[in-house]
Amino acid sequence: MGPKPGTEAKPGVESKPGVFAETGLLLRRGLRSVRAGGLHLVGLILVWQLLISLVAFPFFGWLFRETLRASGMRGLDLSALSEPVRGGSMPVTLLLLAVLVTLAFWLISLQFTAIVVLLRWPELSAREYLGELGRVARQLVRPGSLPLVAYLFLLLPLSGFGFTSVLAQGVAIPSFISGELLKSTSTTIALAVFLLLLLWLNLRLALTVPIFVLSNGRRPGRASWRLTRGLRAPSSLALAVAAVTLIAGVTGGLLLLVALAPTALTDAVLPGASVTVAAFSLGVAEVLGAIIAGLATAWIGGVLIARVDRGAAQLPAQVVLVPDPGAHSRPGARGAAGPDPDHNASAPRRSRREAIAVVTVIALVSAGLGAASIAPLQRLAASPASLVLAHRGFSDGGVENTLSGLEAAARANADLVEMDVMQTKDGQFVAMHDAVLTRLAGRDVAVKDLTLEELTQIEVRDLQGHVDTIPTFTEYVTRAAELGMPLLVEIKLGGGDTPDHVERLVAELEGLGLLESNIYHSLDPASVAELKRLRPDLTVGYTMAFAGGDVPVTPADFIVVEEWTATESMQLAAQSAGLGFYAWTVNAEPSIREHLRRSTDGIITDHPDIAVSARNEMEQETGFAGVLIDAFTRFVTVV
């Protein structure tokens, strides 16, 4: 029995189903939009991937390097930014940075616009479609679009919720920050609260992009906030996005299995052909993986559009949705020409041509990527030459920078132990990373305010329940020598450092006869330069929390780059400059395996046992199946 007269839902007036029913409805409508986009949507995904890979990335890279050169820098070095740069022009640098950010913002905005317009109006002609892109491009130059910059470049990439773009993939909480926060209960809770707040903000603002594109562009953030009030709307959005992400992940896993099968077969019966088969399998998997990721993003876009349609009646009065720009030109529309008798007859032929064009592009791009992957895969298959360094010892066996942690690292068969040395109130040295003892000892007191004797009486503990005392630097390096464990000694500044702290450190190690048996690094450029001046024969590294463009001018022998920016291009730049390349702190197993495959000179990790095990596995493997798995995993993390 149908609804009573007068009770039918009015257009734009939202009904009130439960959360799960609403989630299902949004998923179905989003999927319907993706299916309506069809081959046009797949083609759009391919075009954007090619545009970003072949045009945007090279251009932005060139502009970024020119920006650095305008300030007299070869590469971006945060530690050196506070120092005056000779021959640089800061106004020019700031202008170029503004141009870079503006262009990236426009490109990301138009990328999202292209998807939203196609999903909302899949039957637009090419001219009408470009007209809509132009309309939104004009809206982007209005002052009212400025809040979109913060949303697209900060809030959205940090959470990864909703639309995503590889142009903003580098925006994240660096692992060295999140890793440190997770080492104490209070900061772990603070990080969890922060991430939950990010998720909540993104749920409330998730409709910003589709509202901006589908309306007159006024106050899209405020409109999104209104349409996501209560618990039902944000909960259903969160569940829908989670479902799409899960489906995309399962599909990607199946794609990996299919792509792996030919290589596994040739490994067994025709090893000589494995590298070629693996390369072309990787090429096909990269293209299909990019399409899967693009379709997942489009599905999420369809979900968000459906949510906007569901709550259209709740939009603020100043937000006006634009009408279908192609309605007037379609057969049967009011004011349009009569039905086209050849329209239905020509549709199958047009669809076949489009399908052939899309398949041809996929085949050509896959073949090109496959041919370009043969040499890299051969390099990746070589036995890794990377050193595994236990970060501050091994926290699974003892507190960081203590003798128990050092001994645990030796049992895990690490090649070296990275440790920290800091100066005390009386000018002596202890093994310690934190300038203040709050995290490890629960005491709000600084290392620089305590003597060596006072510090070595303090008990430190970690979240895993390990307990130890703070060792003197002499005790630490002596025990390392007894274990046959070389050290990567980081010179830390605690705020009370004497002007001759590097000279004192050298003298202490020389007195022990252990100076030459270890290597050294520091975030402080002056300490690096002073150590190389005092002892040019020592192996010294310069540590960089953020790197970009090119390697810095440094007297160091190697650079230690935080994982966030320890890219392969930076590694190649270091090798070209005659510098070693270490990455820190690499903890996720896929990242560890990537650096092993790349033969990064040194991998500093909290999990040396995992890194050593992966290296042993790679040294013993035959064939290219394992290499292909790691290569595909690396590609998926990028997409």
Q: Decide if pLDDT at 3 tops 70.
A: no
Q: What is the spatial distance between Cα 86 and Cα 72, in angstroms, rounded to a whole number?
A: 6
pLDDT band at 1 (very low <50, low <70, confident <90, very high): very low
Q: Decide if pLDDT at 334 tops 50.
A: no
Q: Decide if pLDDT at 342 tops 80.
A: no
pLDDT of residue 263: 94
3-state secondary structure at position 554 = coil
3-state secondary structure at position 567 = coil
pLDDT (average), residues 380-399? 94
Q: Decide if pLDDT at 335 tops 80.
A: no
Instruction: Give me the residue spans of the domains in the chain.
Output: 19-323+349-380, 387-622
Q: Decide if pLDDT at 14 tops 80.
A: no
Name the region of 36 (left: φ>0; alpha: ψ -120 to 50; beta: rest): alpha
pLDDT of residue 325: 84
pLDDT band at 529 (very low <50, low <70, confident <90, very high): very high
Assign domain 387-622 to its CATH superfamily.
Answer: Phosphatidylinositol (PI) phosphodiesterase (3.20.20.190)
pLDDT band at 7 (very low <50, low <70, confident <90, very high): very low
Entry pTM: 0.85
- Residue 543 has which token pair? 């540590």
Q: What is the spatial distance between Cα 68 and Cα 97, in angstroms, rounded to a whole number?
A: 9
Q: What is the spatial distance between Cα 480 and Cα 390, in angstroms, rounded to a whole number?
A: 13
Under DSSP, the state recorded for 522 is: E
pLDDT of residue 91: 72
Q: Decide if pLDDT at 167 tops 60.
A: no
- Per-chain mean pLDDT for the chain: 87
Under DSSP, the state recorded for 498 is: -
pLDDT (average), residues 353-368? 89
pLDDT band at 331 (very low <50, low <70, confident <90, very high): low
pLDDT of residue 126: 87
pLDDT band at 61 (very low <50, low <70, confident <90, very high): confident
- Residue 254 has which token pair? 């199946």
**335 CB-contact burial (10 Å; exposed 0-12 / middle 13-18 / buried 19+):** exposed
